[in-house]
Amino acid sequence: MVFASLEFLLLFLPAFLLLYAVARPAWRNPVLLIGSWFFYAWLSPTFLLLHVVLTVISWFGGLAIDRIAEQSRARVRLLTSLIVLNVAVLCWYKYANIVVASITELMLPLGMLPPSWEKVALPAGLSFIVLQAISYMVDVHRRTVPVERSFIAYATYLSMFGHSIAGPIIRYSWISEELAHRGMNWQNFCLGARRFMIGMSMKVLVADTLSPLVGVAFALPEPSFVDAWIGCLAYSLQLFFDFAGYSAMAIGIGLMLGFHFPENFNRPYLARSIQDFWRRWHLSLSSWIRDYLYIPMGGNRGSEWLAYRNLFLTMAIAGLWHGGDSWNYLLWGAAHGVALCVARAWERAGMFTPPELLSHAMTLLFVALAWTLFRSADFATALNMYAGQFGLHAFALGDAMAATLRPAHAIGALLGVICVITPLYQQRCEARYGATRMFAVLGSLWPVLGFLLSFALIASRETVPFLYFQF
C-alpha cells in the first residue's frame, strides 16, 4: 500500500483520519502508532516485526544511555554498540545480496560452485528508520534532547507512516513538543490536504508519466545520443518529482495530524554549484550526514587533507546508504565526494568564479551524469548509457524511444507541472497585486484538479511505487 494507490486513498487514509479526529488528544499518539503499525503490516508483517524490535532496542538504549554518567566510557561504548547494531541490520538487508553476487562472480571463472542463496528483501523505509533511531540515541548521549520515557510517544515518533517510508528524515527534537501537545485545526488540515494534493500531482502526473521513457532508455543495448539524453533528463525530472512529491505528501499528512515537518527540497535544479545543490537536495539527509557523520569525523577542523578525506568519505557513505543492489550507489556517492572536494579546492585556491549561467549549466551537467550512474542497474549499463551520451553510438532518435514518446505523456506532464507551479506563485501574485478572491480560488482549484486527474490515472493503471521505497 503506497500513497498513490486506491487502497490508501479510499480505505486507509479516510478511516484513519476519522478515528484520529474523534480520538481525544491523549489518545492520538496510540491511534497514530496503531495506524502506522497497521500500515507497515499491510506492506509486510515481517517488516513490522523488525520495525518493532528496532523500536524497542533504540528506546531502551536511549534510557540506558541517559542513566550512565556523561564522562563515563561505558556511555560511549553503549552508544557505539547500539549504532553498530542498527547499522549491521541495515547492512544485512541492503548489502547481503550484492556481496553474495560479487563472490559468485569471482567463483565462477575458477570453476567453483556458487553458494546457495535466497535473495534478501529490503523492508520499505528501513534506511530512514535506522537513521532516525541513531540520531535520537546520539542526541540523548549529547544531552541535546531529553530522553523519551514514554514508549508510546517514542514509537509514534519512529513509526509515523506519513514520512518514515521515504522521508523526510525527522529528528526527535523537531517534533518532541508536538508529540506531547499538538492541536488539530481546520486551517492546518486544509493546508495539509493542499500539500498532499500537490505532492500527488508531482508523483502521478509528472514522475509516473516520465517512467516509461526512463525504462526504455536504460534498457536499450546501444542508446543513441538523443535516446541517452532523453532518458537521462527524464530520469532527473522523474526522481525529483517522485521524491519531492512524496515529501510534499508526507508534510501534508503531518499538517493534517498537527505536526510541522521541515521542507526536504528547495529547487535543487536551480543550484549554481555542487555545494549549492546539496544545500537544496534532500535537505533532511544532507543535514543528517553533516551533523552525524561529517562533523563527528572531524569536519574541516583539522588539516586540509583531513577535511578533504572527511568530505569524500561522508559522501561515499551516503552513497552506500542509498542501496545495495549495485555498487553504483557507492560510485555515485564517491563522484559527488570528489566534486565537492574539487569545488572546495577551487574556492580556496582563489580561482576565478565562472559566470552564473555557466556555473549553473556545469552543475546540472554533472548532476545529470551522476544520475545516470545512480539509475543504471549495474556498471555495464552505466557505461553503455555514457557511451550514448558522449556520441559513441548513433545520434538520431531510435525506434524504441520514438514508439514510447506519446503526446498524451507530454500533456499529462505539462498539466502536472502547471498544477504544481501555479500554487507556488500564488503568494508572489498576491504580494504584487494584492490578495483577491480570484487568487484564493485559483490557489485551491489547481491542486484539486491535479488530484482528481491523478486519481483518475491511479484508477486506470497499476500502482507505481515511489522510487525511494527501494532505498
Q: Which residue in 141, 282, 322, 336 is the catalytic one?
A: 322
Distance separating alpha carbons of residues 423 and 148, to the nearest angstrom: 38
Cell match 528501513: residue? 126
Residue 4: pLDDT band by 50, 70, 90 thresholds?
Answer: confident
Distance separating alpha carbons of residues 242 and 195, to the nearest angstrom: 14
Residue in 170, 146, 172, 215 with CA at minimum distance from that of residue 381: 215
- 281-314 pLDDT, tens per residue? 999 999 999 999 999 999 888 888 999 999 999 9
Active site residue 322: yes
**Cβ atoms within 10 A of the Cβ of 39, count?**
21
Q: What is the pLDDT of residue 439?
A: 56
Cell match 549495485: residue? 326
Cα angle 223, 379, 281 (rounded to 5 degrees) comes to 90
- 10-38 pLDDT, tens per residue? 999 999 999 999 999 999 999 999 999 99
Distance separating alpha carbons of residues 247 and 264, to the nearest angstrom: 7
Query: How long, in residues, is the chain?
Result: 471
**Cβ atoms within 10 A of the Cβ of 149, count?**
11
> Residue 415 above 80 pLDDT?
no
Q: What is the pLDDT of residue 309?
A: 94
Are 182 and 255 contacting, i.e. CB atoms less than 8 angstroms apart?
A: no
Please name the residue ranges forming H helices in 68-150: 73-107, 126-142
Are 271 and 363 contacting, i.e. CB atoms less than 8 angstroms apart?
A: yes
- 49-96 pLDDT, tens per residue? 999 999 999 999 999 999 998 888 999 999 999 999 999 999 998 888
**Domain limits, the chain:** 6-182, 189-403
Q: What is the pLDDT of residue 343?
A: 93
* Residue 57 CB partners (closer than 8 Å, separation 6+): 82, 85, 86
Are 318 and 289 contacting, i.e. CB atoms less than 8 angstroms apart?
A: yes
Q: What is the pLDDT of residue 457?
A: 84
Q: What's the mean per-residue pLDDT of the chain? A: 88
Q: What share of the chain is helix, strand, coil (3-state, %, to 5)?
A: 75, 0, 25
14 preceded by cis ω (within 30°)?
A: no
pLDDT: is 206 or 124 the higher one? 206
